[in-house]
């Protein structure tokens, strides 16, 4: 068995929020390999194949993805489904072809049907229609799960591969994207409240009614869960999963309304004005709470409180947008 210090671990998407957190936790113990987008286009099959041929990779954390909020998913559905499917297909196939035995694919809780029973368990996958605004992204992530499962089913015994999938709830924290249109709800609201505070605006407009409930997980907890799942023994992993339902949910187990979230962020930022909820804009799913019992039963627990996490996220925003 290769000593930890000699393992070469490729983190795809290392500049993203999740990937950068994984890097911070891995690099103290392992030899971590990364490539920027300009150095390696993961949607280009020949580039990815060449990268794996030239580098001895032992493990892969597949955190690379095209991501965005409701606006971006509505505006660029072709980009979301094409780019994500290409990234997954190229990395997983090239990893297999080059002899990589262990790979962890990171997905999203949007893989579950719009009306899935709450909290959503892993068994809810493919049991109903998806939420329309992010259906292309969700289908791409489902394809990633099924790629891992299919390679395991066909080549697990003959080639000794062990490809796993982890599905997080809504993530936030250090390293997030604060794009004015394409970001997720937490960074979008942080930016909006911050700018409104310094522009002395008397009110802030928030999309939707404020009534949908969401579960949030701080990104460092997601990174810890990723490393935890990657390093579980095959016997433990397989005792909690099945061949065609092998992915694992990871969440905080706590949910709040978008209204409550907006109020928390306004307090963290120090915004004193009114909050206006624009009901003419889409709400998305009415509720998205995932069942993380499968992971909890293996011994993992989240550590970060949402209020502390939001403060850390705002501090990170301030460093980037002074």
Q: What is the pLDDT of residues 19-72, one digit of tens each?
A: 999 999 998 889 999 999 999 999 999 999 999 999 999 999 999 998 877 777
Provide the Cα torsion 255, 257, 259, 264; round to 10°. Answer: -10
Q: Which pLDDT belongs to residue 4? A: 65
Q: Which pLDDT belongs to residue 234? A: 95
Q: Which pLDDT belongs to residue 5? A: 67
Question: Which of helix, strand or coil describes residue 75?
Answer: helix
| DSSP assignment of 274-289 | EEEEETTS----SEE-
* pTM more than 0.85: yes
Give the residue from 108, 104, 150 showing the smallest Cα distance to 125: 108
Q: Which pLDDT belongs to residue 76? A: 87
Q: Which pLDDT belongs to residue 322? A: 65
Q: Which pLDDT belongs to residue 2? A: 59
| Letter string b/e over residues 279-303, b meaning 16 or more CB atoms within 10 A of that residue's CB | eeeebbbebbbbbbebbeebebebe
Residues with Cβ within 8 Å of 288's Cβ and at least 6 positions away in sequence, in order, are 109, 110, 112, 120, 169, 170, 212, 213, 214, 215, 255
Beta strands (DSSP E) in 143-227 are 162-168, 170-172, 203-207, 213-218
β partners of residue 106: 166
Angle at 306 between CA 209 and CA 211, to 5 degrees: 15
Query: Of residues 61, 137, 178, 314, which has the active-site annotation?
Result: 137
Residue stretches of the chain with pLDDT short of 70: 1-5, 322
Active site residue 237: no
Question: Which of helix, strand or coil describes residue 233?
Answer: coil
Contact between 219 and 21 (Cβ < 8 Å): yes
Q: What is the pLDDT of residues 118-143, one digit of tens each?
A: 999 999 999 999 988 889 999 999 99
Domain 4-172+216-253+289-304 class? alpha beta
Question: Which of helix, strand or coil describes residue 42?
Answer: coil
Contact between 133 and 73 (Cβ < 8 Å): yes
């Amino acid at each position: 068995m290769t000593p930890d210090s000699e393992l070469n671990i490729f983190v795809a998407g290392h500049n993203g929020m999740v990937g950068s957190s994984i890097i911070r936790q891995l690099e103290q113990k392992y030899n971590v390999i990364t490539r920027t987008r300009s150095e390696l286009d993961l949607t280009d099959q020949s580039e990815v194949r060449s990268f794996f041929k030239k580098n001895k990779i032992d493990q892969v954390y597949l955190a690379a993805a095209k991501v965005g909020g409701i606006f971006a998913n509505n505006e660029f559905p072709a980009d979301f489904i094409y780019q994500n499917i290409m990234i997954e297909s190229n990395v997983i196939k090239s990893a297999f072809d080059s002899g990589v035995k262990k790979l962890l694919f990171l997905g999203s809780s949007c893989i579950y049907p719009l009306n899935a029973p709450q909290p959503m368990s892993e068994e809810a996958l493919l049991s109903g229609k998806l939420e329309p605004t992010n259906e292309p992204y969700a289908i791409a992530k489902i394809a990633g799960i099924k790629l891992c499962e299919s390679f395991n089913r066909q080549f697990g015994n003959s080639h000794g591969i062990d490809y796993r999938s982890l599905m997080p709830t809504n993530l936030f924290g250090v390293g997030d994207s604060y794009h004015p249109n394409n970001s997720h709800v937490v960074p979008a609201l942080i930016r909006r409240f911050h700018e409104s505070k310094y522009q002395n605006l008397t009110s802030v407009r928030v999309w939707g009614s404020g009534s949908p409930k969401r579960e949030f997980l701080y990104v460092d907890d997601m990174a810890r869960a990723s490393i935890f799942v990657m390093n579980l023994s095959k016997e433990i992993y397989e005792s909690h999963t099945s061949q065609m339902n092998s992915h694992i949910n990871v969440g905080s187990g706590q949910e709040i309304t978008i209204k409550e979230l907006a109020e928390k962020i306004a307090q963290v930022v120090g915004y004193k004005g009114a909050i206006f909820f624009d009901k003419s804009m889409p709400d998305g799913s009415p509720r998205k709470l995932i069942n993380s019992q499968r992971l909890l039963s293996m011994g993992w627990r989240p550590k970060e409180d949402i209020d502390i996490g939001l403060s850390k996220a705002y501090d990170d925003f301030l460093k980037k947008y002074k």
